[in-house]
Amino acid sequence: MAVKREKPEKKEAPRLSHVDARGEARMVDVSSKPGTVREAVARAALILGSQGFEAVAQNLLAKGDVLTVAKIAGIQAAKRTASLIPLCHPIPLDHIEVLTTLDPERRAIEFEARARTRSSTGVEMEALTAVTVAGLTAYDMVKAVDRSAVLTEIRLVSKSGGRTGDYRRPGESA
């Protein structure tokens, strides 16, 4: 008796949400999705040389308090994300917080943004934009004494809510 082999089920390759069937860029239609509470946490780091790090740590820069100005810039940027990222939906932010931490061992300013909304789409881009602009602002303020600074490690740490559920980057606490 011959054994009939079943063909393995073909898995469809994941599709990019911002590309239509013709391969053209498009804004995703979220009008039929329900509004739910969604949160996202993103992080980044600005690695400095010893002179730049000491100037920030001791608040000695001529442009002012780097950490406070960077926080405010990050908050402003989160609120303007849809103006900066072409296919990003404008969403109401219920909360955006930007935290800064100095890490003397790495000579780094670490940035963390926490964004929250009740919307039909997520806030990952707002959190990522916040830490990126906070880092760029700090770079702008410190570049006079440290042009070697590097903005790095920009990443989504976690997100919750929405159709795809929760995500947490392995190895990171949210």
- In the numeric block, which tokens belong to residue 48? 């400095």
Cβ contacts of residue 45 below 8 Å, gap of 6+? Answer: 103, 106, 108, 109, 110, 111, 135, 151, 152, 153
HSE-up of 125 (CA within 13 Å, CB side)? 16
What is the 3 state secondary structure string of 105-124?
CCCEEEEEEEEEEEECCCCH
Catalytic residues: 140
Gyration radius from the chain CA atoms: 21
Find tokens 């993103």 and name the residue: 42
SS3 42: strand
